[in-house]
Copies of this chain bind each other. A is one copy, B any other.
Amino acid sequence: MPRPRRAVAAAPDLSTRQRLLAAAAGEFAARGFAGASIDRIAAAAGLNKAMIYYHFASKKDLYGEILRDMFAAVSVRVKAAAASDRPPDEKVRQFVVAIATEAEARPHFPPIWFREIAEGGAHLDAETLRHVASVVGALRHIIEDGVRAGRFKPVNVFLVHAGIVGPLLLHFVASGALRKRLQKAGVPVAENTRDEVLEHIFGVALATLEGRTS
């Protein structure tokens, strides 16, 4: 049911804008920034490409908005995990769940993240970089709290971060087209449920932090 009347005249049409953002996310995920086509994005949104330049300043700006949304969402959820009053191991679990939840909410997230890593973060603007930084920062706080509580060893943040994010993104990305391709090549791809994978990754991170991995 449509709202009976527009509240204010100036408000931009969110529906069109978000259709463009959704179509763009799919295109950037499938082909990368340089390979994505403004024409294809517009067509996928059922619109004309002139509409993209009506709503966004440039292809780079459009891509930047998608990146900002992704990392802002992760940042918020991860900081909430770090700020919770649960014990250290539960915070680590929440950290893993935070990344998984936002990745699942955006199918384009894992592939775009992978590509952005491959490009050395070339398209991350200052604000997005702060969000990325705050994700690592939140994990560092979780570890430091655990160390203070006598539960964790002071393991390097980047090793823990890579041990969580690497396998997690790999799982989500490999659940798609790559899985089918590998199956056709004779690789017996196992059926891990989402919860099994999360529990495994959490268990590995906890073992690392509790000093059971060396």
Contacts and interface: CB of A to CB of B under 8 A. Distances in A.
Interface of A: 29-36, 110-112, 114-115, 117-122, 124, 126, 129-130, 132-133, 136-137, 156-159, 162-163, 165-171, 173-174, 176-178, 181-182, 184-187, 189-190, 192, 197, 199-201, 203-204, 206-208, 212-214
Chain A at the B interface: SS class: helix
Contacts of A34: 31-32, 34-36
Contacts of A176: 120
A187 to B, nearest CB: 5
A156 to B, nearest CB: 5
Given A29-B118, A120-B176, A207-B213, A197 B159 contact: yes
Contacts of A203: 213-214
Given A158-B192, A159-B197, A167-B162, A178 B120 contact: yes
A8 to B, nearest CB: 37
Contacts of A122: 177
A2 to B, nearest CB: 38
Contacts of A29: 118
A198 to B, nearest CB: 11
Contacts of A158: 174, 189-190, 192
Given A35-B32, A137-B187, A204-B204, A118 B111 contact: yes
A133 B165 contact: no
Nearest to A32: B32
